Amino acid sequence: MGATVKSKVKVQVEQITLSVDEIAATFAEWDRRYREEPAAFETDFARIVRGQTVDEYGTNAGRYFAWLAGGLGFIPRRER
């Protein structure tokens, strides 16, 4: 099952395994992006959640998290 982030980047995730430290680092990266460029972050994130139901939000946030974790080298990230 492939997952698509609704932004300019697509990521395929089936299952990921991260340590607590890697999860913490990924959330820290998410926070850093927001603090350093809130307008740009909100624009990117708005694309993820635009028009999504409450149930779909978690799925899309998870995909974004996986994309960030891939960018940090914690999991393979396949961009198309």
Dihedral angle over CA of 69, 41, 7, 63, nearest 10: 30
Give the model's pLDDT for residue 13: 56
Q: What is the DSSP letter of 79?
A: -
Helix (H, G, I), strand (E, B) or coil at 61: helix
Tens of pLDDT, residue by residue over 1-35, are 344 444 444 555 578 899 999 999 999 999 999 89
One-letter identity of residue 60:
N
Tell me the two tokens of residue 32.
């850093």
Give the model's pLDDT for residue 37: 87
- Distance (Å) of CA 56 to CA 9, 19, 33: 18, 25, 22
Tens of pLDDT, residue by residue over 20-78, are 999 999 999 999 998 998 887 776 677 667 777 777 777 878 888 999 999 999 998 76
Give the model's pLDDT for residue 12: 59
